[in-house]
Amino acid sequence: MRGVNRLGARYRCPVELAVDLVGGKWKTVLLARLKERPHRYGELRKLAPGLSDKMLTSRLAELQELGFVARVPATEPGRDAYALTKAGERLRPVLDALYRYGLEAAADRAVVIEEAGSPLTR
């Protein structure tokens, strides 16, 4: 994924831009988790066990740069959390649709979905 400063100035289809912005497995998973509620870094780490620390840090930085996620300071030191911004909240219907599609696709293909930590909420 190209960073916000490297996005193309022109696209041939709105879907192309949308995928350029939120495409990739981990960014979408992180956005879906943050759709539930704000999460601290350690919570996100547990909710995405296949994601390395380096990749988590990188994806969170990209999502912040794109304006979808903000780091929210906590009252206690070291307890900052990540939350969706207004731009991130506009992704809620898209994330809901992906969630529903994933459930339907899993049922159609007899795929088991093992959700780490708390289940993704609709």
Rounded to the nearest 5 percent, the helix, strand and coil shares of the chain are 55, 10, 40
Q: What's the confidence (pLDDT) of residue 122?
A: 45
Backbone region of residue 13 per phi and psi (left: phi > 0; alpha: psi in -120 to 50; beta: other values): beta
Question: Can you give the pTM of this predicted structure?
Answer: 0.84
Q: Which domains does the chain have, with CATH numbers?
A: 4-109 (1.10.10.10)
6 burial type by CB count under 10 A (0-12 exposed, 13-18 middle, 19+ buried) = exposed
pLDDT digit of tens for each residue in the chain (122 aa)? 445 556 777 888 988 888 888 988 899 999 999 999 999 999 999 999 999 999 999 999 999 999 999 999 987 877 899 999 999 999 999 999 999 999 999 999 999 998 755 445 44
State the Cα–Cα distance between residues 117 and 90, nearest whole angstrom.
25
* Dihedral sign for Cα atoms in the order 47, 53, 55, 60: positive
Are the C-beta atoms of residues 120 and 32 closer than 8 Å to each other? yes
Residue whose entry in the numeric block shows the structure tokens 């990209």? 62
